[in-house]
Amino acid sequence: MKKRIKVWFHSDSNSDIKEISIHKLGVFFFIIVAMVAGGSLSFLGYDYYRLKTMSFKNKALAQTIDSYRNDIRNQREQIQAFAKNIEVLKEQVDTLSKLEGKVRLIADIKKSGESSGFIGIGGIPENDLDPDISLETRHNNLIREMHQQVNQTTLAVEQQVLNFEDLIKHLEKKKNLLASTPSIRPVDGWITSKFG
């Protein structure tokens, strides 16, 4: 009987005492099972808590990533719109250059040393930007080309301003010359007397 543990229960309603006898090995096994179950429950609880917090962080991270993707998509759309605007600007500068050439031809004014044919030499690049690149691809090459073409177009515009200033200066000279020159030839006169 030394290997058994006895537990006595006494109830209030009657004076009977109940005795339960448990083997020591059974008590030891019960304590081990209770400790393993408690440890397992605490590990599962901790793991559940950790997974739940990771789930909340993942949701927040997914929202942030979606926000960044929307921002990137908007920026790429703006880049494409800017590329189209650069193409329009290049066409307008080319149109101005052609207009200047026509005015010079009509007014019979040749280009002076100050006004060079910058655009004719290759000021504005002929290759068009590709604004229809997929929104999912990187736009690094497009941005690099845009910077180059903006710089070249800016130089062409500055040169065009100098050309127009030179053209206006020559037109002012012609205007002054035409204002002081009579528009009709004077009548040929007859010499009626040698006196005076």
8, containing H or E segment = strand 4-10
Q: Nearest 5°: phi and psi at 2? A: -75, -20
Residue 135, pLDDT score: 59
Tens of pLDDT, residues 129-183: 655 566 566 667 777 888 888 888 888 888 888 888 888 888 888 888 888 887 7
**Cβ atoms of residues 104 and 110 within 8 Å:** yes
Task: Tell me the average pLDDT across 32-53.
Answer: 96
Residue 42 has pLDDT above 90, yes or no: yes
Residue 29 has pLDDT above 80, yes or no: yes
**Average per-residue pLDDT in the chain?**
81
The span from the CA of 39 to the CA of 84, in Å, is: 66
Residue 120 has pLDDT above 80, yes or no: no
